[in-house]
Amino acid sequence: MRCHARAWVGKSPPDVTISPAKGKAIAFPGLPAIGYSRTMLKILAPISMAILLASTGWALEAGADYPAQPIRVIVTVPAGGGVDAVTRIIADELRQRLGQPVVVENRGGQAGNFGAEAAFAAEPDGYTLMASQPAPLTVNALLYRKLNYDPAAFVPIAIMTTIPNTLTVRPDFPAKSAKEFIAFARANPGKLNYASQGTGTTSHLTAELFQSRTGVKMVHVPYKGTAPALNDLIAGHVDLMFTELASALELHRAGRARILAVAATERSPQLPDVPTLIEAGVPSFESGTWNAISAPPKTPPAIVATLNKAIIDALNAPDVRAHLATLSTQPAETTPAQAAEFIKADARRWADVIRAAGVTAD
């Protein structure tokens, strides 16, 4: 029997060899070869096992010097989107806290699938991460017939920020409140058109949830992203859109669109006079989006813990909080375990909506 113990931390130590052939010798690094009997072998075998286990410990500590090179963050949306803006704020803080460059790379397309594929295939060494909206981690597995990655296999590091969705209408819409809107929609089934960021996106699923909770019937008009959808809303080509607060707030303030309600349990500090949909009579209605940082499958826990701490510290920095406030986003500050549970709960919620509405993306 030959037993080799080898740890890869910087360099490989010499082999430890045990040979059971009688009359041979056992050699340990730095010691002269010694003869042994079978009784001695029984005594020394546990020692060799201890060395083997120690080498395993050395290997697990291979990330102790992490990070030792630049970190790449693949963002699953095009540049300029909400996920992108938040990620760049956090990436700049991580660079200062971890002492290595943090490079943001945008790979948008197919509701985040393209970026997720690239991150999923990366080495699990902490040097390639994924920043995403909910879709690649929650609903895409239900919407697409085939994915080239397993959403459940990603290792959640942290939920960076959360933001509520809003019921936003064109500026000349006849209803002036959420209650009036619901009454108008019920009285005009199939006559209202709602925009979304695309089939299966949070804005689409929120509208489906709204219809199921209120009994209204509306027509879906999918777009390729938030910007073109909002452009048509402003121009009056569509009647409404469920979109995140950050995208609608300035349009609302400028009178180019009107926010009738916020899909949250409490009113937004930025819009204290705008009610929640719960206040408008839609029970337990809550919908929002969030931005997460995840790692490829099998990324070591020690590296995940290092990144999580750095991200939480970044989110607590006063200048970061001030910057995020201008985007109407709230820091989430989750542990990796909390992030994993958060993602699972969100996936379950939207899975029920997808099944009930029969939504598919391809």
Write down the domain spans for the chain: 1-65, 68-163+289-357, 164-288
Instruction: State CA 21 to chain mean position distance.
Output: 56
- Does residue 301 or residue 77 have the better pLDDT? 301
- Does residue 51 or residue 94 have the better pLDDT? 94
Average pLDDT over residues 91-119: 95
The listed range with the strongest mean pLDDT (50-59, 266-275, 352-361) is 266-275
Lookup result for tokens 């296999």:
153
- Does residue 14 or residue 174 have the better pLDDT? 174
Q: What does the pLDDT read at residue 327?
A: 87
Q: What does the pLDDT read at residue 40?
A: 45
CA distance 328 to 166: 12
The fold adopted by the segment(s) 164-288 is D-Maltodextrin-Binding Protein; domain 2 (3.40.190)
Please report, in angstroms and rounded to a whole number, the separation of the first and last CA atoms in the chain: 56
Q: What does the pLDDT read at residue 201?
A: 86
- Does residue 187 or residue 29 have the better pLDDT? 187
Q: Which CATH class is domain 68-163+289-357?
A: alpha beta
- Does residue 10 or residue 357 have the better pLDDT? 357
The SS3 assignment for 304 reads helix
Residue 69 has pLDDT above 90, yes or no: yes
Contact 149, 286 (CB under 8 A): no
Residue 296 has pLDDT above 70, yes or no: yes
Where residue 362 falls among pLDDT bands split at 50, 70, 90? low
Residue 6 has pLDDT above 80, yes or no: no
Tell me if domain 68-163+289-357 and domain 164-288 are identical in fold: yes
Burial profile 68-104: b = 16 or more Cβ within 10 angstroms, e = fewer: eeebbbbbbbbeebbbbbbbebbbbbbbeebeeebeb
Share above pLDDT 70 across residues of the chain, in percent, rounded to a whole number: 82
Q: What does the pLDDT read at residue 10?
A: 37
Residue 361 has pLDDT above 90, yes or no: no
Average pLDDT over residues 27-35: 42
Instruction: State CA 332 to chain mean position distance.
Output: 12
